[in-house]
Amino acid sequence: SQQGEEDPQALSIQEGENATMNCSYKTSINNLQWYRQNSGRGLVHLILIRSNEREKHSGRLRVTLDTSKKSSSLLITASRAADTASYFCATDANSGAGSYQLTFGKGTKLSVIP
Amino acid sequence: DAGVIQSPRHEVTEMGQEVTLRCKPISGHNSLFWYRQTMMRGLELLIYFNNNVPIDDSGMPEDRFSAKMPNASFSTLKIQPSEPRDSAVYFCASSSRLEGTQYFGPGTRLLVL
Residues of A in contact with B50 (CB under 8 A): 98
| A43/B55 touch (CB, cutoff 8 Å), yes or no | no
CA dist., res. A43 & res. A21, Å (int) = 17
Residues of B in contact with A9 (CB under 8 A): none
Number of other CB atoms surrounding residue A106 within 10 Å = 19
| A102/B102 touch (CB, cutoff 8 Å), yes or no | yes
**Mutation to test the B interface, candidates A43, A47, A94, A104, most B Cβ within 10 Å:** A43
CA dist., res. B101 & res. A44, Å (int) = 9
Q: CA A23 from chain center: how many Å?
A: 6
CA dist., res. B50 & res. A75, Å (int) = 33
| B93/A43 touch (CB, cutoff 8 Å), yes or no | yes
List residues of B whose CB lies inside 8 A of any A CB. Answer: 4, 33, 35, 42-43, 45, 48, 50, 55-56, 91, 93, 98-99, 101-107
CA dist., res. A60 & res. A41, Å (int) = 22
pLDDT (tens digit, 9 = 90+) per residue, A24-82? 998 888 889 999 999 989 999 999 999 999 999 999 999 999 999 999 999 999 999 99
CA dist., res. A35 & res. B101, Å (int) = 10
Strands A102-104 and A85-92 turn out to be: antiparallel
Measured in angstroms, the CA of B12 and the nearest CA of chain A are apart by: 16
Number of other CB atoms surrounding residue B26 within 10 Å = 18
**Mutation to test the A interface, candidates B101, B103, B108, B109, most A Cβ within 10 Å:** B101
pLDDT (tens digit, 9 = 90+) per residue, B60-100? 988 999 999 999 999 999 999 999 999 999 999 999 877 77
N-terminal to C-terminal alpha carbon distance within chain B? 36
pLDDT (tens digit, 9 = 90+) per residue, B15-66? 999 999 999 999 999 999 999 999 888 999 999 999 999 998 988 988 999 9
What pLDDT is attached to residue A2?
A: 47
